[in-house]
């Protein structure tokens, strides 16, 4: 079974600053995906960024980037130039590779980090 750990229940950052959210995971799989999802107060979960484990290059999406350390089983999210709209709960999630492992696309989530962007 897979586990995902987010050790920072809450974080805050000043607008325009940079913040890093931590995530570690445990798995015996070698092929998998990792995701960061954002859940704003309206509660709809939105995909922020995804990383395929076989890719060494860290994924980036505009102001969002990850630091993927496969050997250390670490997957942190960096948000640059933080904006008020980034205020949300952020979840790290793991998914076994659906085609290579035969599993469905089900996600295993961490407990989340509540990020508050302040003026």
Partner 1 sequence: DTGVSQDPRHKITKRGQNVTFRCDPISEHNRLYWYRQTLGQGPEFLTYFQNEAQLEKSRLLSDRFSAERPKGSFSTLEIQRTEQGDSAMYLCASSLATGRTEAFFGQGTRLTVV
Which member of 3, 18, 47, 118 binds partner 1 (CB under 8 A)? 47
Work out whether 11 is an interface residue with partner 1 (CB under 8 A).
no
* In contact, 93 and 37? CB cutoff 8 Å: yes
Determine the Cα–Cα distance for residues 90 and 25; give it in Å rounded to an integer: 15
Determine the Cα–Cα distance for residues 99 and 46; give it in Å rounded to an integer: 23
SS3 (DSSP) at 100: helix
Please, is 96 exposed, middle or buried when counting C-beta atoms within 10 Å of its C-beta (0-12, 13-18, 19+)? buried
Q: Smallest distance, Å, CB 21 to partner 1? A: 13
Residue 16 or 46: the one with the smaller Cβ distance to partner 1 is 46
Work out whether 99 is an interface residue with partner 1 (CB under 8 A).
yes
Judged by CB under 8 A, the stretch of 10-18, 58-66, 77-85, 101-109 that binds partner 1 is 101-109
Chain residues that interact with partner 1, rule: CB under 8 A: 4, 33, 35, 37, 42-47, 50, 91, 93, 95, 98-99, 104-112
């Amino acid at each position: 079974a897979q586990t995902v750990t987010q050790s920072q229940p809450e974080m805050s950052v000043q607008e325009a600053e940079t913040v890093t959210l931590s995530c570690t995971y445990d798995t015996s799989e070698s092929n998998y995906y990792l995701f960061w999802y954002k859940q704003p107060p309206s509660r709809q979960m939105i995909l922020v960024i995804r990383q395929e484990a076989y890719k060494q290059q860290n994924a980036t999406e505009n102001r969002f980037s990850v630091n993927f350390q496969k050997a250390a089983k670490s997957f942190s999210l960096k948000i640059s130039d933080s904006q008020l709209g980034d205020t949300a709960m952020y979840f790290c999630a793991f998914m076994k590779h659906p085609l290579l492992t035969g599993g469905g696309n089900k996600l295993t989530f961490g407990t989340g980090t509540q990020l508050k962007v302040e003026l």
